[in-house]
A and B are shown apart, each in its own frame.
With several copies, the nearest count.
Chain A
């Protein structure tokens, strides 16, 4: 093997192993004696010193390991700590509006209205402190009741949930009648 190929193999091996690798093992892979192997690796270590490299090879007793350069620490922390973006998705908004207008409400009731599971959305809203548990329904299984929080009121600038624009029962009936009419019209065509 050419020297470049040998270096490539060593780089790949150190990368894939992650931990420290004994020089005997590396030597066996590239089919060279230990001294030659060590020389090749030392030469590689010099190359890694270049400005455009973020990783390096360190020597530990008779092993070698690949790791990042110490001066890269601040950047790595920066990327790892990048905030997971919080967004109110449509699903979250829908769930929130149901809780707001139907509170106190159980998960099951929310699911009945939305037609799909809502565990994730409810958990997220609790995490965001927009809704919270307010007790349990006196029904089989004693399901948890959810309601909006003070934080919610503050965020929307209302004093109490009574201030929320109300959907009257008649309004709901209207929607039903409307929907039925629309379908009837379609059937008539």
Chain B
């Protein structure tokens, strides 16, 4: 794949971050967010056309860094214990944990090499002897299991199954397409205006059924005004709106 980060023996964000921290020779307790973000984005630009998965993971990390950076600019949040919360803390803790496991993985590697020097021996027992199984003793197997117990188990399974049903989502209905189109409504109002010459906006709304129809009617009126097919006038605020058809010259 030739991704530069892969060549440097690391694979992803935390590794990359560690690498950048090392490069900057700073304590992770004092991550210079701005500098790292900048270097980070440079990295992303380098691998732009590479693996989408890695790309998106990088973006998550970049977004986290920018989030932290912007929160640093705001007044510190105070938690329940009355302590100032450092937005970097979470990332720092995550990094420290990662650093520890990385360190431990090197410790383990040494042991792997060492333990690898022990040689084992194949079993010399014939397979048919090893594979011997005693016939199943059902009485012993079912010892203590009564019908009542079996019944209780079944009941709890059914209960668990119904627990798995999401009470909120399971009640969602189907999403249905609203059958009100703006074009149709424009045509309708235009015809209505030509027929009536002058009419009340309120009366027009009263003829509509449903929230969606009212909204589309309102949008249609705005559209007709814009293209100069109708004029509107209103005497007082909150008063009814009078719509007049513009007679074609």
Interface string of B139-155 (1 = CB under 8 A from A): 11110011110110111
Question: Is B161 a contact of A164 with CB atoms below 8 Å?
Answer: no
Question: Is B133 a contact of A113 with CB atoms below 8 Å?
Answer: no
Question: Is A115 a contact of B94 with CB atoms below 8 Å?
Answer: yes
Compute the total of residue contacts between A and B using a CB distance below 8 Å: 227
**Could you say which of B37-45, B118-126, B174-182, B240-248 contacts chain A?**
B118-126
What is the interface residue range for chain A against chain B? 35 or more
Question: Is A68 a contact of B119 with CB atoms below 8 Å?
Answer: yes
Question: Is B119 a contact of A67 with CB atoms below 8 Å?
Answer: yes
Question: Is A179 a contact of B108 with CB atoms below 8 Å?
Answer: no
Q: Which of A66, A77, A151, A165 has the most CB of B within 10 A?
A: A165
Question: Is A94 a contact of B153 with CB atoms below 8 Å?
Answer: yes
Question: Is B165 a contact of A116 with CB atoms below 8 Å?
Answer: no
Interface string of A55-89 (1 = CB under 8 A from B): 00010000001111111110011001101111110
A36 nearest CB across to chain B (Å): 25
B78 nearest CB across to chain A (Å): 26
Question: Is A156 a contact of B125 with CB atoms below 8 Å?
Answer: no
- Alpha-carbon gap, A151 to B117, bound state (A): 14
Interface residue? A6 (CB, 8 A): no
Question: Is A117 a contact of B57 with CB atoms below 8 Å?
Answer: yes
- Alpha-carbon gap, A185 to B17, bound state (A): 21
Q: Tell me which of A157, A185, A186 contacts B118 (CB under 8 A).
A: A157
Interface residue? B11 (CB, 8 A): yes
B172 nearest CB across to chain A (Å): 14
**Could you say which of B66-74, B99-107, B185-193, B210-218 contacts chain A?**
B99-107
Q: Tell me which of A19, A84, A175 contacts B99 (CB under 8 A).
A: A175
What are the residues of chain B within 8 A of A180 when measuring CB–CB? 27, 29, 167
What are the residues of chain B within 8 A of A12 when measuring CB–CB? 119
Interface residue? A129 (CB, 8 A): yes
Contacts A85-B116, A156-B147, A164-B147: A176 and B138 contacting too (C-beta < 8 A)? no
Question: Is B119 a contact of A183 with CB atoms below 8 Å?
Answer: no
Question: Is A97 a contact of B154 with CB atoms below 8 Å?
Answer: yes
Interface residue? A182 (CB, 8 A): yes
Question: Is A67 a contact of B136 with CB atoms below 8 Å?
Answer: no
Question: Is A88 a contact of B112 with CB atoms below 8 Å?
Answer: yes
Q: Tell me which of A98, A127, A155, A176 contacts B157 (CB under 8 A).
A: A98
